[in-house]
Amino acid sequence: MARGQRKTIEVKIAEKEEVIDSLKARLKSEQRELDELYKEKRDVDLKMLHEVLAEANMSAADAADVIKGYLQNQEGQEYQEGQEYQG
């Protein structure tokens, strides 16, 4: 029985390069779509925060100060709990 012609190594390399190029293009496209989804989520989150700030009649700077105060309070509590555990 006669077999079909075997592919040369050069043909195999060219085919693999083509597959890889195709996958790179697909990956690039998927990354663009993912980036757009992240941007969309960020826009939705910012809109929600803006609405909450407007309802509370607060500026972004006011909200940042409140959050910073909250974080400092949390850090202080964690420090105290650590001291109680050690002592």
| pLDDT tens, residue by residue, 27-52 | 999 999 999 999 999 999 999 999 99
Q: Say if CB 60 and CB 50 are below 8 A apart.
A: no
Above pLDDT 90, what percent of the chain? 76
Q: Which residues have C-beta within 8 Å of that of residue 53, sequence separation ≥ 6?
A: 59, 60, 62, 63
Supply the pLDDT for residue 79.
67
The one-letter amino acid code at 78 reads E
CA distances from 50 to 6, 36, 42, 76 (A): 65, 21, 12, 29
pLDDT class of 75 with cuts at 50, 70, 90: confident
